[in-house]
Amino acid sequence: MSEKFIIEGKKKLEGEIEVMGSKNAAGALVSAVLLTKEECILNNLPLVKDILNLIDILKEMGVEVKWLSERKVKFKAGDKVDPEKLNFEKFGKARTSVLLIGGLLTRFKEFKVSRPGGDRIGVRPISAHLKALKELGVDVKEEGNFYYFKRDNLVGKEIVLSEFSVTATEVLMMASALAKGETVIKIAAAEPHVQDLGKMLCEMGCVVEGLGTHCLKIKGQKELKGVEHSVIPDPIEAGTFIVLSALTEGRVLVKNVDCSHLDLFLAKLEEIGVQFKKREKEIEVFTSHNLKPVKIQALPYPGFPTDLLPLVVPLLTQSHGKSLIHDPLYENRLNYVQELKKMGADVEIVDPHRAFVLGKTNLKGVNIESWDIRAGASLVIAGLIAEGKTVLSEVEQIDRGYEKIEQRLKKLGSSIKREK
């Protein structure tokens, strides 16, 4: 049975909240342990469903997994790893699973995977991944609900991705790390979590040039060594807490933040009128009034993150005037807007990618549903500022990307509880 959050809005939030490790970074780093038979230790892992599911998949395939502490895990992908033991049901639960393909290709000449699952934000094919891997010398066939991979030798070459796909870039980076020769990836994603994977690959003995740019050069190695690496703080979680802190009466210190990962996001918040102070690895956020409308378009890094666009919409409902949001990436990303409209938000959907948000409007608590991770977080924010009681169902979607969010928000003074 689906769980739900019961939220009583209009509570004053004060105190400190710490940002956990990046879910998006952790998915690639956990997958990268397949690239070596030596031990790898990952620190600062977020205990969210998508990452725990990925660890379970590796464990069932024969990877030795040992929890050294609450967020520190030792992996050893030795000779017992068997792709025949891949759990297709678990693989199909999250988009993150597609990241395993890169590591599996370096270990096995043939294997199959099921279709990856994930958020209901629109068609998210892995065609960019498959096209790039074919150029590396991989034979890929799609039959029913499965993808079949077969290869002889992985040979590096220049590859131009068909889009700025984060997971396609990461899969290709991992496969190229043990390919023969040099691979050049053009139109590569440059997000902080892509850079984090690149840093881990370098620590393992690979040579990766161009991190943070849209052109990567990877010099393949015969083998890689084990490594100990810490996951970067989650910029999306940081952004979530910054927005909700600005909308609730009080003062909140958001800790463990890498502000350099949020340059354009923070610039847009300043334009809106959000009051905050940046400090080393933390941001102090104050209640913000007299908010202004803006235009925001989601773009590949260093542009405005698509995952943060839904989080800003509750903020724009409290701005004075007409804002425009545009997400060219996913055609169903705006589904959550219908839930906000049930709460009284004045939002006009122009097309599947654009919407006008008119403010200021008073939100009221109603029964609503979480469509995906970020939409769910957006609706939690809306519930915190709404009058009365909000009942948010399908919160398992939120659990995939936010660790015990209701418990952490309670410590700030919010009224939010989980019920079945």
Query: Based on the structure, what is the number of domains in the chain?
Result: 2
Tens digits of residue pLDDT in 199-214: 999 999 999 999 999 9
Backbone angles phi, psi at 387, to 5 degrees: -80, 130
Q: Indicate whether 295 pLDDT > 60.
A: yes
In this structure, the answer to whether residues 293 and 240 fall within a common structural domain is yes
Q: How far apart are CA 82 and CA 61, in angstroms?
A: 5
In this structure, the answer to whether residues 27 and 151 fall within a common structural domain is yes
| Alpha helices for 69-210 (secondary structure H) | 88-91, 100-107, 127-135, 166-176, 192-203
Query: What distance lies between CA 236 and its chain's CA centroid?
Result: 7
In this structure, the answer to whether residues 118 and 267 fall within a common structural domain is no
Provide the strand spans (E) within 259-384: 275-279, 282-286, 295-297, 321-326, 346-351, 354-359, 367-369
Q: How far apart are CA 264 and CA 249, in angstroms?
A: 25
Question: 175: pLDDT confidence band, cut at 50, 70 and 90?
Answer: very high
CATH of the domain at 180: 3.65.10.10
Q: Which of 181, 200, 230 is the last residue of a domain?
A: 230
In this structure, the answer to whether residues 189 and 262 fall within a common structural domain is no
Residues 6+ apart with CB under 8 A from 178: 35, 106, 154, 220, 221, 222, 223, 224
Place of tokens 């210190």: 253
Mean pLDDT, rounded, for 112-126: 64
Domain housing 296? 4-20+233-419
Token digits of residue 120: 């209901």
Tens digits of residue pLDDT in 227-255: 999 999 999 999 999 999 999 988 999 99
What's the whole-model pTM score?
Answer: 0.94
Q: How far is CA 205 from CA 174, 194, 199, 351, 374, in A?
A: 12, 17, 10, 47, 35
Tens digits of residue pLDDT in 69-100: 999 999 999 999 999 999 999 998 888 999 99
In this structure, the answer to whether residues 149 and 270 fall within a common structural domain is no
Question: 119: pLDDT confidence band, cut at 50, 70 and 90?
Answer: very low
In this structure, the answer to whether residues 268 and 151 fall within a common structural domain is no
Q: Which of 193, 208, 230 is the last residue of a domain?
A: 230
In this prediction, residue 145 carries a pLDDT of 86
Up-side HSE of residue 201: CA atoms within 13 Å toward CB? 33
In this structure, the answer to whether residues 203 and 244 fall within a common structural domain is no
β-pair type (39-43, 228-230): parallel
In this structure, the answer to whether residues 91 and 191 fall within a common structural domain is yes
In this structure, the answer to whether residues 143 and 34 fall within a common structural domain is yes
In this structure, the answer to whether residues 293 and 381 fall within a common structural domain is yes
Percent of the chain with pLDDT over 70: 97
Q: Which of 171, 204, 230 is the last residue of a domain?
A: 230
In this structure, the answer to whether residues 215 and 254 fall within a common structural domain is no
In this structure, the answer to whether residues 138 and 242 fall within a common structural domain is no
